[in-house]
């Protein structure tokens, strides 16, 4: 999906008009709707700060807005070729179905397997009714570095855990 179509997709997903988004982004009067129409038709390209502002407004990562152009079969094929070049993806015939899969070796393959596993896990939760489509969409559109294997995220301990650690520290100090 092209950049402008992504902007329109996320705007309409939130039930907003171009004018509402434009005004919230700081454009005045009629220019608010015109400017957003220009971005959605790709007559203009928003600068990075506006992309961040729009992504916050839509509740998605800026990466979800800035996706490669895969709106045509040719564009999609070139994107798949780039995935092969960059990440070692391979086309495979598995039980008569053509599939795109990570290569069998290397750290990129392990990472992609982990990421695909996370994706599959979330998709299965929707299929089983454990989460809603909206929760699944929120997970997909906010997928970030924190979801990558090997990336550590700061976790704030509960007050109970914090108190226990302080008690243990004091007890060790008294010995």
Q: How confident is the model at residue 27 (pLDDT cuts 50, 70, 90)?
A: very high
56-114 residue pLDDT tens: 999 998 888 886 667 788 888 888 887 887 778 889 999 999 998 877 766 666 677 88
Determine, yes or no, domain membership for 109. Answer: yes
Q: Provide the whole-model pTM.
A: 0.60
Cα–Cα distance between 39 and 4 in angstroms, integer?
6
Total structural domains within the chain: 2
Residue in this structure with the two tokens 């490669």, named with its chain if needed: 68
Q: Which residues contact 8 (CB under 8 A, 6 or more apart)?
A: 40
| Greatest mean pLDDT range, 4-8, 75-79, 149-153 | 4-8
- Kindly state whether residues 56 and 107 are assigned to the same domain: no
Query: Domain containing 19: what range?
Result: 3-65
- Kindly state whether residues 9 and 61 are assigned to the same domain: yes
Q: What is the pLDDT of residue 38?
A: 96
111-145 residue pLDDT tens: 778 888 899 999 999 999 999 999 999 999 998 87
Cα within 13 Å of Cα(119), Cβ side: 11
């Amino acid at each position: 999906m092209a950049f402008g179509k992504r902007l329109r997709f996320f705007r309409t997903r939130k039930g907003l008009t171009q004018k509402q988004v434009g005004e919230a982004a700081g454009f005045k009067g009629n220019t608010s709707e015109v400017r957003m129409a220009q971005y959605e038709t790709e007559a203009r390209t928003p600068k990075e700060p506006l992309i961040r502002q729009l992504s916050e407004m839509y509740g998605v990562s800026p990466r979800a807005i800035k996706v490669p152009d895969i709106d045509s079969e040719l564009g999609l094929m070139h994107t798949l070729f780039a995935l092969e070049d960059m990440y070692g993806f391979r086309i495979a015939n598995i039980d008569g179905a053509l599939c795109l899969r990570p290569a069998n070796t290397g750290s990129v393959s392990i990472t992609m397997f982990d990421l695909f596993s996370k994706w599959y896990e979330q998709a299965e939760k929707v299929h089983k009714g454990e989460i809603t489509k909206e929760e699944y969409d929120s997970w997909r559109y906010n997928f970030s570095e924190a979801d990558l294997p090997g990336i550590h995220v700061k976790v704030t301990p509960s007050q109970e855990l914090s108190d226990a650690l302080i008690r243990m520290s004091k007890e060790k100090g008294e010995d």
